[in-house]
């Protein structure tokens, strides 16, 4: 089987996908129509074309945080948010994703509060035809939030985790890495963790060795990106050794890092150092709408850039199953990948 088809058909696990960054052009157009039909004020007309940040784009990571407001203007009502969830899950499923942890930041809009925001996504997950994909929700805290708001989100996450432990699995910290101070989120994150939620932290998107060490010492269940950890990509010997000792799984997002110029090119991506050092890694899309990618394309890019064969790709897919937050689904997801592996005569 040709590599492209192999990457598409390989059952894959997506653990780092922001809902509002994952909207495809066709989803955005459907939401626009829906909002127009329901009389919702549309402010996105002139901005739609600016949503995608492709390879030749001059914008960088800092600019990228403006872009999300375009998606936010479309997912402004519970109905639009629910449809955005369903369409996005369908696209991941069509791309061969068999388990996804979608993450999103609850917001108050003129049409819904944070509670209704979470309800709308959970409705979307429930109403999506889940025949080939298991979908879970991670609730995001944004680094630009004041402590009061991050506490509010942690409380909501705990409440929803207690009501729907089969759907809500974790809390994560994301947003512009130049804004906010990790320590101010520690009380909210600790409460969420003590209540049983898993924790993921965006870590090392910019060079900030002090914060990276604090994050690793916090012992989250997963780290996102992990760019400025290895000395070759802006980290220090200390940050790298701390990660190697901790062996915290890292969610890698190659195209996102290249398109935001956080790393200078695919061949210089820290995937190589992490892979060779045996750090547990998971391949992800981050914001497939913004960065015009897909999960199978990310596997394909890894294979082409780092000369991985089908067996090595399959090992990555199997390895990812160990790090899904819904512990009860680990075996189910793993057997799905192994069934494919056996069918294709691969020996792991």
Mask 256-285, x = binds ligand 6MZ (CB under 6 A)? x---x-------------------------
202 is a site residue for ligand 6MZ (CB under 6 A): yes
- The C-alpha angle with vertex 149 and arms to 144 and 153, in degrees rounded to 5, equals 105
CA distance 262 to 269: 9
Could you give the dihedral angle defined by the CA atoms of residues 133, 137, 143 and 144, in that order, rounded to the nearest 10 degrees? 110
Min separation Cβ 85 and ligand 6MZ, Å: 10
68 contacts ligand 6MZ (rule: CB under 6 A): yes
DSSP string, 216-271: HHH--SEEEE-GGGSGGGT--HHHHHHHHHH---EEE-HHHHHHTTSSS-GGG-TH
Our finding on whether 20 is near ligand 6MZ (CB under 6 A) is yes
Active site residue 205: yes
Question: Can you read off the two tokens belonging to residue 225?
Answer: 């990106």
Position among 101, 287, 298, 326 found at the interface with ligand 6MZ (CB under 6 A): 287
Q: Which is nearer to ligand 6MZ, 48 or 244 (CB)?
A: 48
Q: Which of residues 139-168 bind ligand 6MZ (CB under 6 A)?
A: 140, 142
Interacting stretch for ligand 6MZ, rule CB under 6 A, among 18-26, 42-50, 178-186, 308-316? 18-26
Query: From the candidates 172, 205, 251, 298, which is the catalytic residue?
Result: 205
102 with 121: CB under 8 angstroms? yes
DSSP state of 348: -
Shortest CB 293 distance to ligand 6MZ, Å: 12
Q: Which pairing describes strands 198-203 and 168-174: parallel, antiparallel, or unpaired?
A: parallel
Least distance between ligand 6MZ and beta carbon 124 (Å): 12
Of residues 92-131, those binding ligand 6MZ (CB under 6 A)? 104-105
* Least distance between ligand 6MZ and beta carbon 73 (Å): 11
Nearer to ligand 6MZ, 130 or 179 (CB): 179
Q: Find the binder of ligand 6MZ among 15, 64, 141, 341 (CB under 6 A).
A: 64
Q: What is the largest CA-CA distance in the chain?
A: 56
H or E element at residue 172:
strand 168-174
CB of 345 to ligand 6MZ, least distance (A): 38
Q: Cite the beta strand spans of 24-152 per DSSP E.
A: 97-104, 134-142
Contacts of 201 (CB under 8 A, 6+ apart): 172, 173, 182, 189, 215, 218, 220, 222, 223, 224
Distance of CA 89 to the CA centre of its chain: 13
Task: Compute the least distance from the CB of residue 310 to ligand 6MZ, in Å.
Answer: 29
Q: Does 286 bind ligand 6MZ (CB under 6 A)?
A: yes
Residue nearer to ligand 6MZ on the CB measure, 148 or 343: 148
Q: Which of 119, 205, 211, 251: binder of ligand 6MZ (CB under 6 A)?
A: 205
Return the closest-CA partner of residue 37 out of 91, 83, 106. 83
- Between vectors from CA 281 to CA 325 and to CA 137, what angle results, nearest 5°? 25
Chain residues in the site for ligand 6MZ (CB under 6 A): 18-21, 64, 68, 104-105, 140, 142, 174-175, 202, 205, 256, 260, 286-287
Q: Give catalytic residues, as residue numbers.
A: 205
């Amino acid at each position: 089987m040709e590599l492209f088809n192999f990457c598409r058909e390989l059952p894959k696990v997506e653990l780092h996908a922001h809902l509002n960054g994952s909207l495809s052009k066709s989803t955005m157009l459907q939401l626009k129509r829906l909002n127009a039909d329901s009389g919702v004020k549309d402010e996105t007309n002139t901005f739609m074309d600016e949503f995608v940040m492709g390879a030749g784009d001059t914008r960088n990571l800092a600019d990228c945080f403006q872009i999300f407001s375009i998606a936010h203007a479309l997912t402004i009502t519970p109905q639009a948010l629910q449809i955005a969830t369903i369409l996005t899950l369908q696209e991941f499923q069509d791309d061969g994703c068999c388990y996804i942890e979608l993450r999103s930041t609850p917001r108050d809009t003129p049409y819904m509060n944070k509670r209704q925001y979470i309800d709308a996504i959970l409705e979307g997950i429930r109403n999506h035809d889940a025949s080939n994909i298991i979908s879970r929700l991670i609730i995001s805290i944004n680094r630009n939030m004041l402590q009061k708001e991050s506490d509010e989100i942690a409380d909501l996450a705990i409440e929803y985790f207690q009501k729907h432990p089969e759907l809500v699995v974790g809390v994560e910290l994301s947003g512009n890495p130049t804004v906010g101070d990790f320590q101010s989120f520690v009380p909210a994150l600790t409460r969420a963790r003590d209540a049983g939620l898993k924790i993921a932290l965006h870590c090392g998107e910019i060079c900030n060795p002090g914060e990276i060490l604090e994050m690793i010492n916090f012992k989250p269940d997963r780290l996102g990106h992990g760019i400025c950890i290895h000395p070759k990509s802006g980290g220090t010997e200390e940050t790298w050794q701390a990660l190697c000792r901790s062996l915290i799984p890292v969610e890698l997002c190659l195209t996102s890092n290249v398109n935001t110029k956080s790393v200078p090119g695919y061949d210089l991506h820290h995937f190589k150092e992490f892979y060779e050092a045996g750090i547990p890694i998971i391949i992800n899309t981050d914001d497939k709408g913004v960065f015009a990618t897909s999960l199978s394309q990310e596997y394909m890019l890894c294979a082409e850039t780092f000369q991985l064969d089908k067996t090595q790709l399959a090992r990555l897919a199997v390895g990812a199953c160990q790090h899904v937050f819904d512990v009860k689904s680990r075996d189910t997801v793993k057997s799905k990948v192994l069934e494919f592996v056996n069918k294709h005569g691969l020996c792991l």
